[in-house]
Structure 1
Amino acid sequence: MDTTLAASSVSDPAPFHAWRAYALEAKYEFLRVLRTPAFAIPSLLFPPLFYLLFGVLLNRGSSAAAHYLFATYSVFGVMAPGLFGFGVQVAIERERGWLALKRVAPMPPGAYLAAKMLMAMAFALIIYAMLAAMAATLGGVRLDPVQWLALGLIAMLGVLPFCALGLLIGSRANASASPAIVNFIYLPMAFLSGLWMPLGMLPQFVRDIAVLWPPYHLAQLALAAIGREYAGSLPAHVAFLVAFTAVCFAIARRWLARIA
């Protein structure tokens, strides 16, 4: 019996220490990002400023435009934390040998990626809260509480496909090239997905290829959440995003596993 008690006293704290390691890694990752103005300021300010310009000042009081752009700019807002938080930062840390050091450190193997995903989700919620405040006060957007919460949940979880894509970029690109690669993908993909204006206002070939981009599928879920007209099947949009996330994470994990 003494042996059992001794064994349990050694093994019981292990889960606590594992969760504490995850929590500390997430905390310091979030603080690191907040102390990086080159990432935090554009990520937090660009979506609200764009919504203020296009969704409030230039929509001429159109309620339909204000609601549509609130949904699509909520999607646009969650792209940056995932793409830049993973695509650029992972490339820098991989090149500097930080990832190799993490692999031999006495910490849970998934804490590194989990911390970055939690950071991206936290930033997505902050951006959504800023957009929601502007939409409700300046944009004339009126939703019921369930719709506000549903769109917030979509924004929080919707960052994950872009985390996966960012990780894929960061696992291969070098530190100097990764910002250019992310920017080359970030803004064109948002435009081609109909986030800045309805796809019906864009050329036919843009509409035809919109289904290839993750923001398009996330935008349809966002529009559905606030009761606006959307295209396609909701289960199909979810399936695309889940499959895209899984494939990108799987490829990136295989590439990162080769790091010595």
Structure 2
Amino acid sequence: MNTITTDMPEPGTLLRSYGLEAKYEFLRALRTPMFAVPTLLFPALFYVLFGIVLSGSRGGVAAAQYLLATYGVFGVIGASLFGFGVSVAIERENGYLELKRALPMPPGAYLLAKMAMAVLFSAIISVMLAVLAAGLAKVSLAPWQWLALFLVNLTGALPFCAIGLYVGSLVGGSGAPAVVNLLHLPMAFLSGLWMPLHLLSPIFAKLAPLWPAWHLGQLALKVVGRDSGASAAMHVAVLLGLTVVFFLLARRRLSR
């Protein structure tokens, strides 16, 4: 009797491998206070301060709605950039990526696990902000708006995962936090995530489309009816294009 053998793993085993890699990557990040604490708490603390405590004299519920959308994007970008940019740089520098390549793990499991981690952190941030907005700021949105904001934040993590991956492929572990901060904080400010751009010099509004954070912020603001009026398709196309470009650039760097 002939026996047919194959090296291909069973589908159930393959999915379990991906699931375990994602699970332990999420737990690793959650148990890293220097990443988990600021990533989860800063968007909520900023929202409480500026969207709830100070919004009464600066727009009330309208300001709370605006900042609900933009601080959600701010949190998602932080989780994605730091989750990839810093961790990949450290792991690459310490030889962890070489170890991962030598292990019998499914193709792409390392990157998919990190993307899943960033998306899960984005989900937690989105839920925290929604609870604060509805419970304390008295923000009232239709059910589809709450769901749309949640989906924008989750899918919006992907382009910044790609950007973070490219940053992590360029710099060392000791320099990665500084580089990511220099990218994250100015981009958030210049994209109108901390305050509407019309409160600043007109030059900032003209330059805003240069920043990927602006495009994601506009998608979130479109959900609550406070965007600048540009086409959602344009924002999606820009973010999708950036995801592909930076992923390919990072793949080229990491394959050397």
2:10 matched to 1:14? yes
Q: SS of 2:226's equivalent?
A: coil
Which of 36, 56, 62 matches 1:60?
Answer: 56
The CA deviation at 1:190 is 0.3
The CA deviation at 1:210 is 0.5
Q: Deviations over 1:33-53 (max 9, x none)?
A: 111000000000000000000
- Identify the range of structure 1 (112-121 vs 19-28) with the bigger mean alpha-carbon deviation: 19-28
Query: In percent, how many aligned pairs have the same letter?
Result: 57
- Equivalent residue number for residue 228 of structure 2: 230
Q: Is the 8 A contact 1:25 1:115 kept in 2?
A: yes
- Equivalent residue number for residue 106 of structure 2: 108
Q: Deviations over 1:18-73 (max 9, x none)?
A: 21111110010011011100000000000000000001111116111111111111
The CA deviation at 1:197 is 0.6
The CA deviation at 1:12 is 7.7
CA distance in 1, matches of 2:8, 2:177: 44
CA distance in 2, matches of 1:157, 1:175: 27
- Equivalent residue number for residue 254 of structure 1: 252
Which of 21, 27, 36 matches 2:23?
Answer: 27
- Equivalent residue number for residue 96 of structure 1: 94
CA RMSD of superposed structures (Å): 1.4
- The equivalences for 1:67-146 within 5 A come to 67-146=65-144
Q: Is the 8 A contact 2:219 2:227 kept in 1?
A: no
The CA deviation at 1:229 is 3.9
Distance 1:224 1:91, change over 3 A: same
CA distance in 1, matches of 2:236, 2:131: 27
The CA deviation at 1:104 is 1.7
* Runs (5+) with no aligned partner, structure 2: none
Q: Deviations over 1:192-239 (max 9, x none)?
A: 000011010111221111001111101111111223343311100000
Q: SS of 1:107's equivalent?
A: coil
Q: SS of 2:242's equivalent?
A: helix
- Equivalent residue number for residue 177 of structure 2: 179
CA distance in 2, matches of 1:163, 1:243: 13
The CA deviation at 1:109 is 2.0
* Runs (5+) with no aligned partner, structure 1: none
The residue type equivalent to 2:102 in the other structure is V
Normalising to structure 1: TM-score of the pair?
0.94
